[in-house]
Structure 1
Amino acid sequence: MLNPIENPRMQEIFNDSPHLEMYGRGKPIGLDDVKLLTMGRDSYQYYFQVPIEKCVWGYGWSYLKGENPLNSFFRCEASLDQFYTHFRPETCLQALTLDNTAQGWDSLETPWYVNLEPKPFSGENKLGPEHGRPHCGPVSLERLNLEKFRLREVLQSIRNMGYMTSYYASPDQHIFGYFLVTAQDFRFLVVNGQHRAAALVELGSQTLPATFTSIAPRMPRLVSPWHLDFLAGVAYDGSQREVVQEIFESYFDESLRQRRREYVTDWLRLAQLESD
């Protein structure tokens, strides 16, 4: 796969956004760029190209082909059914470690997701919490069909019209998320636009054009071990600090990444067998 700036076909897909400036001439960002972007007070005015191998969705699923349940959908639609059928963690600790017996955290939310006035999950697209969450099962048939519809629609839309067209004119309609950062590495956790991200990967891009949400400050720009220390005893019980660290490190764990890859492969295989 080629960088979209070097690939004529991907240049057509990545049309310039009329509302956001391109950071670094569209070159894939590295750790030094992450430091600038997360600290720059004008960062919301830019979009930046994040290497696919640094992008994750939900509970640690890499956006590389063969490692993301959303991308398997494009090979066999029933693979998404398998994902929601088999991936049913009770907490984010279980979801990230792939260990259904893991204890020490009692929420599907990550420990750095903080609201001053906590509100229950309210659903989206008129589908309430009883229909499930998009990141894991179980989900209702309505939720499942909605996810499939979005994947089909966005792939066809980008094929026909490109990506940064007037359809995505608002900065808050771009792919956005935040960075998880260690001293030597980073991940970009996609929060909005996961279907667009999967479609771009399917179309051959090796980077995702992303930005920070301008809905201040709905999401952080950066989460690091320092932030986890800072929130201890405030956002979560300080006695859970080691569990919180495990949740954070699970996004970087290569052995867990391999296990996720194996799960995606198994779900696709089961889907293809049932479709034959």
Structure 2
Amino acid sequence: MSFNRLFPFACFALLGLASCSKESDSNGAESSKLEVRLMDAPGDFRSVVLDVRQIEVHLKKEKDAEKLRLLTFTPQAINVLDYVNGKSALLVSEDFAPGDLDEVRLLLGPNSYVIGRDGQRYDLKTPSGQSSGVKLKLDKASLRERETFQLLLDFDVAKSIKERGNWKSGDDKKERYLLKPVIRVVAQDLRAGIRGTVSPAAALPQILAIRSTVLGPDTVSTSADASGAYQINGLAAGTYRVEFFPSTTAPTTLPAYRNNVRTGVVVTNDNVTDLGTTSQN
């Protein structure tokens, strides 16, 4: 997945991540996890680069400023055409208090642009997005304890970028296109997971499920119980590397416990992937 430049502006701050790699304990207390992903409906351009500066999350039925959460992130410029045909980019993944969300507000900067089929760059004017932000209403977006909730932003290039009717070759390139974002929001609980057992159970390993994202590794962890069983819930679909780290040492009469890594673990929506038994010897 490529970005145009990593960048002074960026990451669809969609509900920003306080750090690029975040570890969440699946046995952790009263918190949820909120993810925001971006995908795109193709358009007739070589590149469509959005300059996204910040995101606010509005809590349900709360209008005072204290109930508007500005999420921490590093702005980026992102080429949305990198995420078409089923691809999506994980932009934000962070712990979030359970509750109802009412609205996501996306603030765009002045540096969005397209590369046309002619190879020329055309700046995008964003009359509705620069000041008050692009408001995305949410319907039935409820975060529950110890579950992951995902907001998928489906950016429609063809509907979002409008050519001025009176523009002609030789006119100022900055005046050719307007950006009026049309974004469909799909909100869903994530019910996928990974489970299995370790042998011997006495190794009591910590288990990390790691997925690569545009923000860096996204890591979720748990520990095997006394019977050797483990399960990590609330995962997004994707390919994971699962790492096992014994938390104890083996008796001197037995083989030493060792770290283990399972790669290419595919997790699909609403399904729990069973890894069977993983050896710690």
Q: TM-score band, normalised by the shorter chain?
A: under 0.3
Q: Going by fraction, where is strand more abundant, 1 or 2?
A: 2
Instruction: State the TM-score, normalized to the length of structure 2.
Output: 0.20
User: Does 1 or 2 have the higher relative contact order (CA < 8 Å, sep 6+)?
Assistant: 1
Instruction: State the TM-score, normalized to the length of structure 1.
Output: 0.21
Q: Going by fraction, where is helix more abundant, 1 or 2?
A: 1
**Greater Cα radius of gyration, structure 1 or 2:** 2
